[in-house]
A and B are shown apart, each in its own frame.
Chain A
């Protein structure tokens, strides 16, 4: 599900688990990333804010 919500940064491995591109998110993708994290049934995804 998360891979559908954020295909730009999430791919799926052969078992269906998310492989994350860990580069910082551009502003336009942040809300999509938050939706993807909220949709995770096991709360496995975190959107983090990092200070420079």
Chain B
């Protein structure tokens, strides 16, 4: 496989030289060769994906070419926003001062397991991607941020970094940082604030991290899965990447599929796959499904009746008001009480407020309280109108998008679960209210690891 920067085929040639095996024309890609237990060793990683990226320090052409390839591949961020990766890289590379790379593996979304899966099973793929991204933008330092509660993931990453340190000429320096647990702590600006020695809370005041972030340097902040894809695009090229997925959302992605299923867990899918095919791959559902939540607790509920028609891409989900976000697909069974579940998660979301903005602090608390009253049957007057009013008051009135996410979650619940909400408002708690909750929330005691 050549490393040519031949002018007519530069777009199509992969960057890396060496002995990369024939690229997978189908799934799995990221999850290729994942061991049943533990992390893929450096040797196994090289056998599966081919040699490490060349470590030529001053190869500017190759660095710029990688960004071109990422642009042609159409790689979007995998942290939820889907921002074009190449555009972000170019912006940071053009900033004032030496760029620095921050990779976000904190995964504060309770219903998401994909990032810790990458850390715990594929740390070398992650490190490849971090190194490639850093070199491409001229950074010589990268920080991999892991949640302080993620014991196994932290250890796997540390071990993999130590294995790399023994290789000659491997760079740049990758540091491991432990970030505070919390739903909003994984926000780009919250991470940067934490790395600068401040609180892990988001800000909106300029400048943004791409301009001035960690130590006032232009900072590239990416989700850990995004850089894992970079590690494969560099090996196999943009045309290969686009063999899966859709024209406007190319490639494969990791989803965390949970709920009443035979085999819940992290799956790799191509964008545009049907939800039914994913459910089949997971051994099918074990109960009837009342609704499915896309994107996580800042995402959107869709009625279970739509399940057979749903397709996993943002364009296909948009008419339902939903998007894939960071790949969370969470099924709620018909046995659960959707009112109790919604109230419980909303109360948790209210507690996750950074506490910086009045409308978020008061508004999310009021939303949770109203839902709790509806659930018990003690709600005064028109609780649904109150929920609507609060949603409008709270939306877009915080320093970050946390209140907006909660509003999306609650208003879609109010829509999909209208009947159950009305029943509870009139008659109070139902039998299912006493059931063990289905929707996952973190407990503070235990470190979170992938199953």
Contacts and interface: CB of A to CB of B under 8 A. Distances in A.
Interface of A: 13-17, 19, 44
Nearest to A46: B205
Nearest to B365: A15
Interface of B: 357-359, 362-363, 393, 397
A15 B358 contact: yes
A44 B358 CA distance: 10
B358 A16 contact: yes
B416 to A, nearest CB: 27
A14 B358 CA distance: 11
Contacts of B362: 14-15, 17
A-B pairs, 10 with minimum CB distance = A17-B358, A15-B362, A17-B359, A13-B393, A15-B358, A13-B359, A15-B359, A16-B358, A17-B397, A19-B397
A40 to B, nearest CB: 12
B interface: dominant SS: helix
A44 B397 CA distance: 11
Nearest to B393: A13
17 contacts: A13-B359, A13-B393, A14-B362, A14-B393, A15-B358, A15-B359, A15-B362, A15-B363, A16-B358, A17-B357, A17-B358, A17-B359, A17-B362, A17-B397, A19-B393, A19-B397, A44-B357
Given A15-B358, A19-B397, 13 more contacts: A13-B359, A13-B393, A14-B362, A14-B393, A15-B362, A15-B363, A17-B357, A17-B358, A17-B359, A17-B362, A17-B397, A19-B393, A44-B357
B146 to A, nearest CB: 32
Contacts of B358: 15-17
B398 to A, nearest CB: 10
Contacts of B363: 15
Contacts of B357: 17, 44
Nearest to A22: B396
A14 B363 CA distance: 10
B355 to A, nearest CB: 12
A5 B362 CA distance: 24
B59 to A, nearest CB: 39
Contacts of B393: 13-14, 19
Most buried by B among A15, A16, A19, A44: A15
B247 to A, nearest CB: 33
A16 B359 CA distance: 9
Contacts of A17: 357-359, 362, 397
A20 to B, nearest CB: 8
Nearest to B358: A17
A44 B361 CA distance: 15
A15 B357 CA distance: 11
B388 to A, nearest CB: 14
A19 B362 CA distance: 14
A22 B397 CA distance: 12
B270 to A, nearest CB: 40
Contacts of B359: 13, 15, 17
A15 B358 CA distance: 7
Nearest to A16: B358
A42 to B, nearest CB: 9
A14 B390 CA distance: 10
Nearest to B399: A44
A15 B398 CA distance: 14
A35 to B, nearest CB: 20
A17 B363 CA distance: 11
Nearest to B361: A15
A37 to B, nearest CB: 13
A41 to B, nearest CB: 12
A45 to B, nearest CB: 12
B207 to A, nearest CB: 14
A10 to B, nearest CB: 13
Contacts of A19: 393, 397
Contacts of A14: 362, 393
A38 to B, nearest CB: 15
A17 B358 CA distance: 6
Contacts of A13: 359, 393
A19 B357 CA distance: 12
